Amino acid sequence: MKIVKKKEAKEFKNNEICTAFEYDLKDNEINAAVIKLKGRYPVGGTVMNEKCKEIVYILKGSGKLVVEGVEVELSEGDQALILPGEKYFFDGNMIFLAPCTPAWYPEQHKKVE
């Protein structure tokens, strides 16, 4: 068993719109973060994960997720799966849990115009 307490989570500010709290399990196969979003991320264009699958589970609030041009509205309790290589962006005011497998790391997360 591995435990990461809330006080041990590492805060990363992508910008003023998107803040991630990473719960590092020190496991290459899976990790998770809590994301606080207030607006559009990324501000322009899209992003993609080259290696990991990312689940998005909305804890609070609502917004939209656009994946490969397909827009879905998300609200508390909804879940989505973003596959490796899919281009996406978020827009809304929400807090979500984002587990990733294999574990997310910055070098495989790319901004796409």
Residue 90 lies in domain: 61-95
Record the tokens describing residue 58, joined without a space. 């909305």
Domain contains 6 = yes
- For 61-96, give the DSSP string: EEEEEEETTEEEEEETT-EEEE-TT--EEEEEEEEE
- Please check whether residue 49 lies inside any domain of the structure: no
Query: Per the structure, how many domains does the chain have?
Result: 2
Do the domain assignments include residue 106?
no
In a domain, residue 112? The reply is no
pTM of the model: 0.94
Is 8 within a domain? yes
Could you read off the pLDDT tens digit of each residue along the chain, which spans 113 residues? 999 999 999 999 988 999 999 999 999 999 999 999 999 999 999 999 999 999 999 999 999 999 999 999 999 999 999 999 999 999 999 999 999 999 999 999 999 97
Q: From CA 9, how far away is CA 41, in angstroms rounded?
A: 21
Task: Determine, yes or no, domain membership for 77.
Answer: yes
In a domain, 18, yes or no: yes
H or E stretch at 107: none
Q: Is residue 26 part of a domain?
A: yes
Q: Is 7 helix (H, G, I), strand (E, B) or coil?
A: helix
